Chains A and B, each alone.
Chain A
């Protein structure tokens, strides 16, 4: 499926941000500078196309950090393959995104 997926520059940027370890919607907004009305529909499209997957985090993690339970996004295998092609297609993408961070 990922072979046929055509992504816009902002969708590619969001995918790259997730690849860099920013898993939450609002974190992606902060890193990319894109508004919520752009980031969330793009996340839905990426999820629909099978490039990312979304999951609710454990209650224990949220309770430990004194915050509500959040939904996070992770790259799939197809997403990683797409990312390789996207980096070739958009050479500046690597420069636009911050360094990878560990979870």
Chain B
């Protein structure tokens, strides 16, 4: 037979591409059948005297049907099922699933707002000198306010404090604005609150900060609840039935106490007599020194703390608290894993076939564990810090976050090691096809176990059965006493 005509070359390419869906041993026969039919059709077209162009075009259209035929072969041979099973067992799927979870968390939370607040620089001038002062019980962690007269004593006599403002603890309030009612977290602040913090405002809005009464809206509240409405300044807004003038919208990224605080009501008379203090300290001030000085000033002024003590917390230190709690949780997790496993779990690397396999093994373990821990860290911040109304005053998360990080990190480490143990030492695919060998009742008890096979055929993992004696009924012998 002659060589096939050049017009059949595109058909040959299409057939070669479609044949990739077939098992390798069936490709030649399948391609041969299709190509022979197409060639015969081309001969018939020439004999019938049809034009070359339209004949070729008709031939290519007919040839395109080969993909549907190949797909039938692929589907029939269980190719999809095997492909999915192979993919699910692969290390790439494990890492990909963790990345998908992280991406899902990123979008579900609206681009991790609480994490961004913690990681980005604080929106105050010289933020390292800003501290929050409250009273805490000696036997309990509940925060209480500082009496007004004591606050002024501190402001007057403290050598560490350079400026002081008062604010209430955040609480939800009923807001009515622009013909709509909203529930939002608000705090009452004194008129020197923003100047104490050193809020960076655009020049056209800066003069509004010195007003003695009004309400400032957080940027997030203005965008989400008021739909970025223009010309709000000097409009009225009702907070719990009280009419207030809107002073303006705070710059994006500004937050204080907690990212959930939406309204800052400037009204010194509305701040309760026992309130939280916002102070600006001298450079390099320490929380411990500040607390000692405040205690000393209070005692000199004749104020006696009975069951409470002043508690100072620098805001910049407070926002980093979740990271320290996470490190603590990770430490607890490592201790738990060490107690449970010791160094036994690494013994499987003794059978490592090559240096490259070793790198792949540790690389996969590292990325899997890191992504899992990152997921725990971000969920903790978004769930416990992002939703906490008194984040800074409650040490950004509090005991719930400590427990979450301890349990989360421990679970991630255990799951990661357990997953690693059940994978092939060469290709890191999950082992499968369990075959039970022997039986617990035979003489060679240690021989009884389960063998797991690598899907790629790299090896077999033998897991012996250790059946404890108290699980077997025939171990118990009743004595006639």
Contacts and interface: CB of A to CB of B under 8 A. Distances in A.
A71 interface: yes
Interface string B1-45: 100100000000000000000000000000011111111110100
B65 A26 contact: no
B76 interface: yes
Contacts of B66: 36-37, 40
Interface in B66-83: 66-69, 72-73, 76
B39 A35 contact: no
Interface of A: 24-26, 29, 35-41, 44-45, 48, 62-63, 66-71
A35 B62 CA distance: 7
B346 interface: no
B206 interface: no
Contacts of A38: 65, 68
Given A40-B65, A44-B72, A44-B73, A26 B1 contact: no
6 contacts: A37-B66, A37-B69, A38-B65, A66-B43, A67-B40, A67-B43
For the complex of A and B, the 6 pairs showing the least CB-CB separation, nearest first, are A36-B65, A37-B65, A37-B68, A40-B69, A41-B72, A68-B36
Interface of B is mostly: helix
A69 B68 CA distance: 23
Given A40-B65, A70-B37, 18 more contacts: A24-B40, A25-B33, A25-B37, A26-B38, A36-B63, A37-B64, A37-B65, A37-B69, A40-B69, A41-B69, A41-B72, A44-B76, A48-B76, A66-B43, A67-B39, A67-B43, A68-B35, A68-B36
A19 B66 CA distance: 24
Contact of B37 (A26, A41, A48, A62): A26
Given A40-B69, A63-B1, A71 B62 contact: no
Interface of B: 1, 4, 32-41, 43, 62-69, 72-73, 76
Given A44-B73, A44-B76, A68-B1, A26 B64 contact: no
Nearest to B37: A26
A59 to B, nearest CB: 9
Contact of B40 (A26, A41, A44, A63): A26
B73 A36 contact: no
Given A44-B69, A44-B72, A36 B1 contact: no
A70 to B, nearest CB: 5
A7 B478 CA distance: 68
A93 B43 CA distance: 31
Given A37-B69, A44-B72, A29 B62 contact: yes
Contacts of B76: 44, 48
Nearest to A42: B72
A69 B33 CA distance: 8
B65 A35 contact: yes
Contacts of B35: 68
A32 to B, nearest CB: 13
B73 A67 contact: no
Contacts of A67: 1, 36, 39-40, 43
Nearest to B38: A26
Contacts of B41: 26
Contacts of A68: 1, 4, 35-36, 39-40
B384 to A, nearest CB: 56
A37 B37 contact: no
